[in-house]
């Protein structure tokens, strides 16, 4: 039987400034062929920047698809060729908030919406903050940002209240609070990163097997969101 999920052919139907769309014809485990629309998007970074008083920096930014402003973490696309994720994160934090940080670690990696896009986001934890000032030449979108610092606990409460809904912000804030309470040892800031969060090793064993008993092997059918 042919390899399941093999891409038989692919065609790009849209090219935009931020995202492109392609349609893949994919062989399913049952032998049928299905069309899968994929939104191609640059990887991105986001930063949970926590100061010595336990306050986290948040930005309020207008998001046109939702036609309203959302509270988010400082973040940005990895759209500079060969720029490491850490350098992108440091640059975005400075450009959006005027904050520099002396201590960095990887907090979590997320797949934004794997049912239709290949976008992946690395979320960093930044500590030992200092005010460095925003560099000149800030673009129109960033000049409209509202920047606040609130306690991490209050930010997490806003997640559960539905005030903060941006996926990177939700994941990053909850992860930061959990790491703080559990004294979790985080990955170094320069930890390697694949094109997207990999959940299956080359040998077919689930990456979660050591953590979740009973989870092993490659699934033989697509998830419900595919």
- What CATH number should be reported for the domain holding residue 112? 3.90.79.10
| Residue 205: inside a domain | no
Q: Are residues 166 and 76 in the same domain?
A: yes
pLDDT tens, residue by residue, 40-95: 999 999 999 999 999 999 999 999 999 999 999 999 999 999 999 999 999 999 99
Catalytic site residue from 142, 185, 205, 222: 142
Other beta carbons less than 10 A from residue 2's beta carbon: 11
**Ramachandran area for residue 171 (φ above 0: left; ψ -120 to 50: alpha; else beta):** alpha
Nearest CA-CA partner of 147 in 44, 66, 51, 77: 51
Model pLDDT, residue 199: 43
The predicted pLDDT at position 193 comes to 84
Is the residue at 191 inside a domain?
no
Taking the C-alpha atoms of residue 140 and residue 77, their distance in angstroms, rounded to an integer, is 16
Q: Are residues 23 and 107 in the same domain?
A: no
Which domain range does residue 19 map to? 7-41
The answer to whether residues 31 and 99 belong to one domain is no
Number of domains in the chain: 2
Question: Do 117 and 171 share a domain, yes or no?
Answer: yes
Are 178 and 66 contained in the same domain?
yes
Q: Which residues contact 108 (CB under 8 A, 6 or more apart)?
A: 123, 171, 172, 175
pLDDT at 212: 52
60 is catalytic: no
Residues 37 and 145 in one domain: no
Q: Does the residue 92 lie in any domain? A: yes
Q: What interhelical angle do 167-182 and 152-161 show, nearest 10?
A: 130
Residue 174 lies in a domain: yes
pLDDT in tens, 149-196: 999 999 999 999 999 999 999 999 999 999 999 999 999 999 988 755
Tell whether 193 is covered by a domain.
no
CA angle 83, 172, 63 (to 5 degrees): 75
Question: Is 2 among the domain residues?
Answer: no
Residues 63 and 138 placed together within one structural domain of the fold: yes
Residues 29, 61 share a domain: no
- pLDDT, position 138: 62
Asked if 54 and 27 sit in the same domain, the reply is no
Query: pLDDT tens, 110-154?
Result: 999 999 999 999 999 999 999 998 888 666 556 688 999 999 999
């Amino acid at each position: 039987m042919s390899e399941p999920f093999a891409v038989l052919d692919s065609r790009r139907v849209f090219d935009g400034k931020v995202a492109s769309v392609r349609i893949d014809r994919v062989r399913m485990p049952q032998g049928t062929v299905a069309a899968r629309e994929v939104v191609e998007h640059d990887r991105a970074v986001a930063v949970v920047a926590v100061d010595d008083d336990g306050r986290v920096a948040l930005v309020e930014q207008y998001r046109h698809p939702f036609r309203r402003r959302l509270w988010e973490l400082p973040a940005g696309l990895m759209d500079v060729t060969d720029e490491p994720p850490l350098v992108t994160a440091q640059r975005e934090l400075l450009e959006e908030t005027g904050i520099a940080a002396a201590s960095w670690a990887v907090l979590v990696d997320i797949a934004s919406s794997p049912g239709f896009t290949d976008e992946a986001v690395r979320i960093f934890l930044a500590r030992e903050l200092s005010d460095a000032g925003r560099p000149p030449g800030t673009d129109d979108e960033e000049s409209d940002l509202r920047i606040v610092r609130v306690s991490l606990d209050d930010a997490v409460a806003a997640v559960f209240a539905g005030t903060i809904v941006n996926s990177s912000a939700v994941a990053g804030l909850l992860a930061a609070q959990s790491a703080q309470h559990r004294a979790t040892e985080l990955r170094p800031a320069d930890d390697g990163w694949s094109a997207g969060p990999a959940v299956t090793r080359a040998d077919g064993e689930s990456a979660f097997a050591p953590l979740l008993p009973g989870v092993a092997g490659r699934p033989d059918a697509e998830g419900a969101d595919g």
